[in-house]
Chains A and B, each alone.
Chain A
């Protein structure tokens, strides 16, 4: 397996790090998407009743994004610190 990866210029360690970093961002993004979907649909419902709540709805929809940012931070740490 390692030989195969090395043939295309990627070592096993680098490949695993890549998968790990991808999982860190990807899973966090799924969580964020799920939360934003639920908040967004509720937010649109609120906006039809009270359009002046736009600012608050943007704020509430944006809150779960911290999850994916933390996922990004973990991915970056995996690549920078472990990737050498």
Chain B
């Protein structure tokens, strides 16, 4: 459900402004409204001078510099625990510190990067050269000639022949190219050429299939043997050099343990300074205007009275016409993960219906009806429980999703028992397990009727909620439209019942009359386009109900794929059969986790929500949560 919001004005003496903002920042219950957008604000907007704006800019710049420096350091110094309060002098010192230390830190961090790169790349060069050395023992000590080490994929080895022909033409035979397989897939080649022709050779080597081994600059002029020896010496020196650089960086950074705390102070202070631009004030008084969850107004009043004093009061304000409070969803714990699925589409408008609880009920149910297999459901349940356990301390969309899957997989197990499916028909084949209700492989007709019944129920529920929503918002047009659709739906099912001999034929005329009446009402409501749109709307309604056939379709596809896995497994020898069946069941399980989720969501977003959902709410962003302060919608 959506939390009821109250509009409040926090009014106080100007001398208490900073303290009040600090408390509000810490409390995180007030969604700020820009006073210039609030017609009920008792004071005019605070005139912010140039100096204030300049200060915000300065602090933003300082925050950006400090942030980028902290990002450079892999392990920033540990903060002292709490956010420090920084004086003007502290900020000055921080600025000086940054001016002095940033170049040094950058230099050391870049040096560390270079050393790590060297440590990574040199063993590869040593390996390549060591492999190529036996190819050209005569070159091992050669000086004065340019050499290029090339690696070519075996399937492109013909490129070396072409290269040989081109070099023969350009260098008149004054070169040597020697090649051999260095491993199964790679041909290594060493090209020796006069240094004067270096540019021409480089141009020829820029071929797609040729990968040139480029040695670091300091090894380029050495012979192979010298280069290998020098690289090995360098590799031996590197760990000590890295440790020394790291120590130098630590020595530089460790005394600045307050940097992390300073960064968090800057965040908080900037939030408060930016908030000032949205307040109202006179020379002596200030007002902060905002939305608070109705249940938190007392807490806000008490905390301000205790921590700031009686000079600051909280007044409830009148909500003006056209003012829309922000939206905060609050649902029972089991349904809370589904809030993320609602937000995935769009937030509901304040005062409208929050469909989270309904999604928590229907999404897992639809998933279970579609997948409906005890073993698949159990596997997904174990995976979802493991994911949820792993993410238990990290609130995230993934954790919410794992909780959605826990419920969905549980329903899949339950419906698996109903359908008698254990890895498809394996339970029946091996253990003679029978369905409680229907066998999906054989009873297609009841399954289709069941899916349509679910659709009719779900759409009817959506339309009833739409009627309720229209009544609450006093939108007569929508009310009549939804009632007409309900009438059509009832008439259509009456006709279906008459055709199936469940109802007497005498009801046929009233049912048709009801559809015609609904059609005429919809045409009138539609105005000029009503003649075209009303029939389309009725067809769309039937399409919405038929769309629930996907529940049956996906189920049938899943059960047949499982059967194919079992048939193939049974046809092959035991070991191979188990392997093939496992692969097919794994594929079916992957599809079974993905498709029913997407289809269950689609049935909600497209078919169900379109009957009542009023989207477009603004999220509740309390002051102090780091969200950018925005003027409230008016």
* Residues of chain A having any CB pair with chain B under 8 Å: 54-56, 58-59, 62-63, 65-66, 69-70, 72-73, 76, 79-80
Q: Tell me, in angstroms, the Cα distance from A41 to B466 when the chains sit together.
A: 34
Across-interface contacts of B599 in A (CB, < 8 A): 62, 65
Q: Tell me, in angstroms, the Cα distance from A8 to B546 when the chains sit together.
A: 36
Which of A54, A66, A76 contacts B543 (CB under 8 A)? A66
Number of residues in B with C-beta < 8 Å to the partner? Answer: 19
Which of A54, A66, A70 contacts B344 (CB under 8 A)? A54
Whether B448 and A65, one on each chain, are in contact in the complex, defined by CB atoms closer than 8 angstroms, is no
- Of chain A, the residue at the smallest CB distance from B452 is A73
Given contacts A69-B553, A76-B444, 4 further A-B contacts (CB under 8 A): A54-B344, A58-B344, A58-B602, A69-B549
Interface pairs (7), CB distance under 8 Å: A55-B344, A55-B605, A58-B601, A70-B543, A73-B448, A73-B546, A80-B444
Across-interface contacts of A54 in B (CB, < 8 A): 344
Q: Tell me, in angstroms, the Cα distance from A79 to B546 when the chains sit together.
A: 17
Q: Tell me, in angstroms, the Cα distance from A72 to B560 when the chains sit together.
A: 15
Whether B598 and A58, one on each chain, are in contact in the complex, defined by CB atoms closer than 8 angstroms, is yes
Q: Tell me, in angstroms, the Cα distance from A56 to B346 when the chains sit together.
A: 8
For the residues of A in contact with B, the DSSP-based class is helix
User: Is B379 positioned at the interface, with any CB of A under 8 Å from its CB?
Assistant: no
Which of B345, B445, B543, B550 contacts A55 (CB under 8 A)? B345
Output the least CB separation between B404 and chain A (Å).
Answer: 14
User: Is B361 positioned at the interface, with any CB of A under 8 Å from its CB?
Assistant: no
Whether B444 and A62, one on each chain, are in contact in the complex, defined by CB atoms closer than 8 angstroms, is no
User: Is B547 positioned at the interface, with any CB of A under 8 Å from its CB?
Assistant: yes
The A-contacting residues of B in range 238-294, CB under 8 angstroms, are none
Output the least CB separation between B152 and chain A (Å).
Answer: 37
Whether A69 and B547, one on each chain, are in contact in the complex, defined by CB atoms closer than 8 angstroms, is yes
Whether B546 and A56, one on each chain, are in contact in the complex, defined by CB atoms closer than 8 angstroms, is no
Whether B444 and A56, one on each chain, are in contact in the complex, defined by CB atoms closer than 8 angstroms, is no
Output the least CB separation between B536 and chain A (Å).
Answer: 14
Whether A65 and B602, one on each chain, are in contact in the complex, defined by CB atoms closer than 8 angstroms, is yes
- Of chain B, the residue at the smallest CB distance from A63 is B606
Q: Tell me, in angstroms, the Cα distance from A54 to B543 when the chains sit together.
A: 25
Output the least CB separation between A52 and chain B (Å).
Answer: 9
The A-contacting residues of B in range 338-378, CB under 8 angstroms, are 343-346
Whether A79 and B444, one on each chain, are in contact in the complex, defined by CB atoms closer than 8 angstroms, is yes
Across-interface contacts of A58 in B (CB, < 8 A): 344, 598, 601-602, 605
Across-interface contacts of B444 in A (CB, < 8 A): 76, 79-80
Q: Tell me, in angstroms, the Cα distance from A21 to B179 when the chains sit together.
A: 62
Across-interface contacts of B445 in A (CB, < 8 A): 80
Q: Tell me, in angstroms, the Cα distance from A66 to B541 when the chains sit together.
A: 13
For the residues of B in contact with A, the DSSP-based class is helix
Whether A59 and B606, one on each chain, are in contact in the complex, defined by CB atoms closer than 8 angstroms, is yes
Across-interface contacts of A65 in B (CB, < 8 A): 550, 599, 602
Q: Tell me, in angstroms, the Cα distance from A73 to B448 when the chains sit together.
A: 8
Q: Tell me, in angstroms, the Cα distance from A54 to B342 when the chains sit together.
A: 12
The A-contacting residues of B in range 567-612, CB under 8 angstroms, are 598-599, 601-602, 605-606
Across-interface contacts of A62 in B (CB, < 8 A): 598-599, 601-602, 605-606
Across-interface contacts of A72 in B (CB, < 8 A): 549-550, 553
- Of chain A, the residue at the smallest CB distance from B445 is A80
Interface-central residue, A54, A66, A69, by most chain B CB under 10 Å = A69
Across-interface contacts of A70 in B (CB, < 8 A): 543, 546
Q: Tell me, in angstroms, the Cα distance from A55 to B345 when the chains sit together.
A: 4
Across-interface contacts of A55 in B (CB, < 8 A): 343-346, 605
Across-interface contacts of A80 in B (CB, < 8 A): 444-445, 448
Across-interface contacts of B448 in A (CB, < 8 A): 73, 76, 80
Q: Tell me, in angstroms, the Cα distance from A63 to B546 when the chains sit together.
A: 13
Whether B549 and A73, one on each chain, are in contact in the complex, defined by CB atoms closer than 8 angstroms, is yes
Q: Tell me, in angstroms, the Cα distance from A79 to B442 when the chains sit together.
A: 12
Q: Tell me, in angstroms, the Cα distance from A78 to B312 when the chains sit together.
A: 76
Across-interface contacts of B547 in A (CB, < 8 A): 66, 69
- Of chain B, the residue at the smallest CB distance from A73 is B549
Q: Tell me, in angstroms, the Cα distance from A79 to B556 when the chains sit together.
A: 14
Whether A59 and B549, one on each chain, are in contact in the complex, defined by CB atoms closer than 8 angstroms, is no
Output the least CB separation between B495 and chain A (Å).
Answer: 17
Return the CB mask of B403-421 against A: 1 if under 8 Å, else 0: 0000000000000000000
Q: Tell me, in angstroms, the Cα distance from A62 to B553 when the chains sit together.
A: 15
- Of chain A, the residue at the smallest CB distance from B550 is A69
The A-contacting residues of B in range 296-352, CB under 8 angstroms, are 343-346
Q: Tell me, in angstroms, the Cα distance from A56 to B602 when the chains sit together.
A: 10
Output the least CB separation between B618 and chain A (Å).
Answer: 13
Question: A59 and B546 in contact (CB under 8 A), knowing A65-B602, A69-B553?
Answer: no
Q: Tell me, in angstroms, the Cα distance from A14 to B444 when the chains sit together.
A: 17
Q: Tell me, in angstroms, the Cα distance from A66 to B444 when the chains sit together.
A: 19
Q: Tell me, in angstroms, the Cα distance from A73 to B547 when the chains sit together.
A: 9
Q: Tell me, in angstroms, the Cα distance from A68 to B605 when the chains sit together.
A: 18
Q: Tell me, in angstroms, the Cα distance from A72 to B548 when the chains sit together.
A: 12
- Of chain A, the residue at the smallest CB distance from B547 is A66
- Of chain B, the residue at the smallest CB distance from A59 is B605
Across-interface contacts of A63 in B (CB, < 8 A): 602, 606
Across-interface contacts of B601 in A (CB, < 8 A): 58, 62
Across-interface contacts of B598 in A (CB, < 8 A): 58, 62
Across-interface contacts of A56 in B (CB, < 8 A): 345-346
- Of chain A, the residue at the smallest CB distance from B607 is A66
Output the least CB separation between B359 and chain A (Å).
Answer: 12
